Structure 1
Amino acid sequence: MTETTAVAPSETEFEQHAFRGRLNAAFFSVMDPYMEANLRSRKQRLFADLPPEVVEIGSGVGANLRYLPVGSTLVSIEPNRYMHDPLRDAAHRRGVRLDLRERMAEQTGLPDESVDSVISSLVLCSVQDPAAVLAEIRRILRPGGTFRFLEHVVAPAGTPTRAAQRILRRPWAWAFEGCSCERDLEQSIRAAGFASVTVERYRLHTPFLPFNTHIAGVARA
């Protein structure tokens, strides 16, 4: 069953861009099987044994719904309204109750220490303020709760991937609505004040060279 909660946008507004918003919704819907094939093994480990209610920062078109048990609830913080219809459809197919909130990740509107698990997948690259988002995640997590993340990050200096990230940073950010391929998100997460952080670094081998350096891990409140 799918349910949507109407929530007013936060004070920090997301710029709804009709062309790029629709383009990204279509792109990620079409690319879902390819992305899933590349990321499945790590997502299976990372998202194993999720609780019955999960908060996701930037759910997009619902790529991670397949990892939630039937009958569970996803509280989705997704400001891009062009993602909403595909996300609702995916939640309905997967049998997941959807609590959809059109808000920025910097201001989820959720109470302090009210959540057992927050997940993100290829999202922190595009938020306006990663430090503020991580502080917000810490605020809403209960003590001992987990933030489980899978993100693409800046490549080591002097590598061909790093050079490609630098050259393509502007068109990449334009096409993917602010996505940066130059963020050191591992350092950001380690500096965010979590009680513990475990990180795995790995590399994908795809034609999208700026996208190929990744981290996955768990931060515990």
Structure 2
Amino acid sequence: MIDTTPTTPSTPTIGFELHRRRGPFNAAFFRVMGPYLERSLRPRKRRVFAELPREVVEIGSGVGANLAYLPAGGRLIAIEPNRYMHARLRSAAQRHGVQLELHEAMAERTGLPDHSVDSVISSLVLCSVADPLAVLAEIRRLLRPGGTFRFVEHVAAADGSVTRAAQRILRRPWAWTFEGCSCERDLEQSILEAGFASVSVEHYRLQTPFLPFNTHIAGTAQA
């Protein structure tokens, strides 16, 4: 039996604005665009999320794009403050046969126990958190020694490039539309400086109409 009972508070999480327009828009956008984005990201996700343990914490689970990479019968502890995502996330967990423990919490303060999991994952999330360094510190706190943080994220393009110029021009409307998402973060450097024992990073580029989104990193950091 799949337990999809959420552990959500009765009021919106402090620090996250449940916007009545942006929230439903993003939930619908990622449901509709999910298959397209997944086709582009799948080669890296297959590598980075290979052989995940049966229990995984995911920062920003959204509508469940990464459930397919968990083992059947596994358990996802989902940190997702956008309540508008929850119904689709629960449905996706049922479809994939994954037990879901859903927390309406901020990634900076998950409320989970110290050193309680072997793997934390994220995809397209560190761009939108309020404090990436605080989130990375929280991830390290959650991981057992030797555990892994596995990530697929979009990042700032090289200075002087057309993509970088587009990221600068569109940064404000992009951030407003996509719940604070920034196209200009050097997330690789943040991960390298977060205190992990080792970090492996791959740089790659997507070819999509969403130009500010096209520069990416994927990799693994070990606690």
TM-score category, normalised to shorter length? over 0.9
Query: Any unmatched runs of 5+ in structure 2?
Result: none
Which residue in 1 is equivalent to 2:4? 3
Does the 8 A contact of 1:10 with 1:107 survive in 2? Answer: no
Letter in 1 for 2:35: P
Contact 1:198/1:217 (<8 A) preserved: yes
Partner of 1:97: 99
Q: Distance in 2 between matches of 1:66 and 1:112?
A: 27
CA contact (8 A) 2:197 2:221 kept: yes
Deviations 1:126-168 (A, max 9, x none): 0000000000000110000000000000000000000000000
Moved over 3 A (4+): 7-12
CA RMSD of aligned residues (A): 1.2
Deviation at 1:12, TM superposition (A): 3.9
Q: CA deviation at 1:41?
A: 0.9
Structure 1 residue 10 displacement after superposition: 9.1
Aligned positions of 1:5-84 closer than 5 A: 5-8=6-9, 12-84=14-86
Matches within 5 A, 1:1-221: 1-8=2-9, 12-221=14-223
TM-score, with structure 2 as normaliser: 0.97
Tell me the amino acid that sits aligned with residue 51 of structure 1. P
Give distance in 2, aligned partners of 1:32 and 1:5.
Answer: 23
1:4 CA displacement: 2.1
- Tell me if the contact between 2:12 and 2:18 (Cα under 8 Å) persists in the aligned partners: no
Matches of 1:116 and 1:209, distance apart in 2: 35
- Maintained 8 Å contact 1:148/1:217: yes
CA distance in 2, matches of 1:174, 1:219: 30
Q: Which runs of 5+ in 1 are unaligned?
A: none
Partners of 1:46 and 1:2 in 2: how far apart?
A: 27
User: Do the aligned partners of 2:153 and 2:217 also contact (CA within 8 Å) in 1?
Assistant: yes
**Given residue 25 of structure 2, which amino acid in structure 1 is its aligned partner?**
L
**Residue type of the partner of 1:55?**
V
TM-score normalized by the length of structure 1? 0.98
* CA distances 1:76-97 after superposition (whole Å, capped 9, x unpaired): 0000000000000000000000
CA distance in 2 between partners of 1:17 and 1:151 (Å): 24
Count how many residue pairs are aligned between Structure 1 and Structure 2: 221
Distance 1:22 1:192 in 2: 33
How far apart in 2 are the matches of 1:41 and 1:105? Answer: 26
Aligned CA distance change for structure 1 residues 29 and 11 (closer, same or farther; 3 Å): closer
Partners in 2 of 1:149 and 1:6 — Cα distance?
A: 25
Contact 2:200 2:221 survives alignment (8 Å): yes
Give, in whole Å, the separation in 1 of the partners of 2:189 and 2:29. Answer: 29
Contact map agreement 1:2 1:88 (CA 8 A) in 2 = no
**How many angstroms does 1:13 deviate by?**
2.6
8 Å contact from structure 2 (residues 56, 119) kept in 1: yes
75-84 or 10-19: bigger deviation: 10-19
